[in-house]
Structure formats: structure tokens, C-alpha cells
Amino acid sequence: MVTHGRWSWWIGPQIAAYALIGFALAAPVYALELSLGTVELGDAFGVVARVALVFAVALLAGTLVPYSEDQGLSVTAAGFLAAIAIILCSLLTAWVGSVTDTAAAGLTEVILAGLFLILQAMTAASQENNATRYV
């Protein structure tokens, strides 16, 4: 039984750590792509928007289908769920980009990422009562 506040105080710092580690790994790759000329500096907003979207979808998929050693397909199911969500979001942003301009498509990706993060927080909050049994 936990008596010292919320059991999930570490989730925020852990998400920040994942984001910083991902940024530290992606920044040299993006710099290399800039030097090779495969991307331009003006594409940075779109790249950051896509990264935020994929990060939010991965967090949501991990919350909906948590890792379990007892369920061997939990990682596969979460990956499949994330892949389907990313494909659908990519189709939506491509459609928005074709109807309007690329800035609106990037804004759509950021809005979707925010919605996925809100949904992940709501799902995690509803699972908190069940998770405290295992602490």
C-alpha cells in the first residue's frame, strides 16, 4: 500500500528523459541529413511535428497495451496499434496538406499529438487504481 502520495510521480520525469534521449540521438542524424542535403533547415518544423506525433502515439499504444512478460504478443500488439494510428495520422495530414498548405499539415500533426497525449493521460489515470495493487 502506498501512503506517500501518488505512486506515479515518476512518469513525468521519465517521459522527459525519453524525449531528451530521443532528441540527443536524432539531432546528429538530422545534422548529417542537413550536411548531405537530403533535408533543408526549413523542414525542421515538420520533422519536429512528426516526431511529437510518433512519440505521443507510442506513449498511447504503450498505455493501451502495456508490456507484459506473461503476454508474449503485448509488444507486437502495441506496435501494431501504433503503426495503424501513425498511418492514419499520416494520411490525414497528407490530405490536409493537399487541401491547404504545409503549415496547416504541420499544425494538424501537433494538434493530433496533443490529443493523443491527453488521451494517454486520461487512460493512464483510469488505470491508476488497478496499477496500485502491484506497487
- Tens digit of pLDDT for each residue in 62-115? 878 877 788 878 888 888 988 998 898 888 888 888 888 767 877 888 888 888
Q: Is the pLDDT of residue 7 over 60?
A: no
Query: Residue 32: its pLDDT value, please?
Result: 94
Q: What value does the mean pLDDT take over residues 27-48?
A: 88
Query: Residue 2: its pLDDT value, please?
Result: 46
Q: What is the CA radius of gyration of the chain?
A: 18
Average pLDDT, the chain: 79
Q: Is the pLDDT of residue 36 over 90?
A: yes
Cβ-contact 9, 134 below 8 angstroms: no
Task: List Cα–Cα distances, 100 to 7, 83, 133, in angstroms.
Answer: 45, 25, 49
